[in-house]
Amino acid sequence: MPTMKTPYRVINPPEYVSKYLEKARKIRNQNWSALFDAFQAGDQRKVRKLRDAYFKNDAHKAAYLFQAGVRWPNVSSWETEVAGFDPLHPMQHVVDWWRQPKIGDGFRYVCDLSAHLKAAHMMAADVVRAQMNVPCFIYNVKRSHRFADGTGRGALVQRLLAQLRAGFVHYRIYDARDCFNSISPGALIPPNLPLPWRIYENTLNLENLSFRHDTVRERRHFADITFYRDIVNAEGASGPDGLMQGSPSSNVILAYLLQHAPQPDPQDGCILLYGDDLIALSRTPTIASRVDRAVTQFFEQPTLGPLQLHRRASGHLGSFEYLGYEFIYSEVEDDWQVNLSSRNWNNLVRIRNGEALKHWPMHGPWVDRQIAHRIAKSLEGHNALTDPVAILETIVLGGWDILEIASAASGRI
C-alpha cells in the first residue's frame, strides 16, 4: 500500500533524513581513518590538527548524536540539534548515578549520561582509539578500522583456548576492585590522554559535571533491603570518581592506560585483558609467580590509581570460569573444552522454564520447538562454545518435567 503524501511528508520527506545521516557517518568514518593514518605515519602536527578539528565538525556531531540515541524526523530539526551541541564548551546536563550490586560482593557506581554528554564521550573514545596501537592482549577495543574484526570476547576465548592447548596451563585470573572508580584523576589529564584540554574539562573531569543520586533506581537493583541498608550505613553515598561506569569512553580510556602492562616472554606465557578482567597463563609455577608480581606492581602504580588487583582464581589444568565461559581439561581426551559458566547455564535454564510456561497453553507437547528457538538465539552470543548443539539439546530436553510445567501453566499448582 503506497504511503499517503501528507503536507508534512512533502515538506519533510524522511528519505532526506536518511541521506543526511548517511553522509554524516561517511564523513565521520573518513576523518577518523585520516586521523588514524596520520598517527600511524608519526605526523604529530597533522594529528593535532585533525584531532582538534574532529570535535568541531558538524557531520561528526550529527553521527555521534544519532549513535547516542537522538532521533529527529527532518533535516531542519537535526541541524538545530547539531547547532546546540558543542563538546568543546561546558554542557549543563545532570548525570544520574546509582549503586548496582556486583555478582560477588560490593557494588559499582553506574551513571546515566544525557544524549549530548554520551555523544561527546563517544567522540572522545574514537579519538583516543585512533591514536593508539591497541596491543594484541587487549580484546575489548577494536585495533584498527572502525569495523575491524578479530576483537571481542569470542576472539579472546579462542586465543585463550589455543594457549591452553599449547601448554600454558598454569592460570591466574584477576580483576581490579572498583576499577573505574579507582582510576587516578591525574591519569586522565592531557597529555596523559591524547585529547584536547577542553574535552577533558567538559567530559572527563568529574568536578565540572553535575551529579544527582538516583535513589529510586538504586533501590530497584537491591532485592534484599536489609543488604541495601547495610551498604548505605557502611559505605555512605560518595558518588562516582575516576572514570564513569556507563560512559562510552571508559573502556577505551582504561585500555589506553593499561596498554603498557607487562608481558611475559611469548615462550613462557601471556596475559589477556578484557576491560578490567585479566587472565595470566604460564608454562610453569615459577613463571606464574613472576608474572603475578610484575602485573600486581604495574596496577599498583600511584599514577594509575593505584588499582587493587584481586586474584579470583588460580590453578593448573582442571577447570575454571572466565568471561562467562567454563574451560574444562579432560584427562581422558587430553584436551580442553569450552562450556557455559554456571551462571550463564542457570540463566538459560530460567529462560527455558519461562518459555515453557509461556508457550505450553498454545503449543502443548510441541513446546520444545519454541524453547529450542529461544535458547538457540541466546546461544548466538556464545560463539566460542566447543559444542553448542549438545548444550542446546541438554537444556531443551533434559532435567525438567513437562507435566509439572503444564500444571503450573494451568494454575493447578
Write the pLDDT tens digit of every residue in 7-44. 545 556 667 899 999 999 999 999 999 999 999 999 99
DSSP state at residue 110: E
Question: Which helix H or strand E contains 81, and what residues bound it?
Answer: helix 75-83
Higher pLDDT, 398 or 356: 356
Q: What is the pTM of this model?
A: 0.86
Give 110's strand partners: 98, 245
Cell of 282: 604460564
**pLDDT > 70: percent of the chain:** 85
What are the CB-based long-range contacts (under 8 Å, 24+) for 59-63? 59/23, 59/24, 59/27, 59/28, 60/24, 60/27, 60/28, 60/31, 60/123, 61/85, 61/87, 61/119, 62/20, 62/21, 62/24, 63/21, 63/24, 63/25, 63/27, 63/28
DSSP letter string over 2-41? PPP--HHHHHS-HHHHHHHHHHHHHHHHHHHHHHHHHHHH
pLDDT at 237 over 80: no
pLDDT at 12: 62
Q: What's the whole-number average pLDDT of the chain?
A: 86
Write the pLDDT tens digit of every residue in 343-361. 998 888 888 888 777 776 6
Query: Rounded to whole angstroms, what are the CA distances from 93 to 75, 112, 232, 309?
Result: 24, 11, 26, 34
pLDDT at 49: 96
- Interhelix angle 388-397/342-363, nearest 10 degrees: 50
Residue with cell 596498554: 259
Q: Which residues contact 23 (CB under 8 A, 6 or more apart)?
A: 59
**Residue 245 · residue 96 · CB < 8 Å:** no
Question: Which helix H or strand E contains 373, and what residues bound it?
Answer: helix 367-379
pLDDT at 230: 53
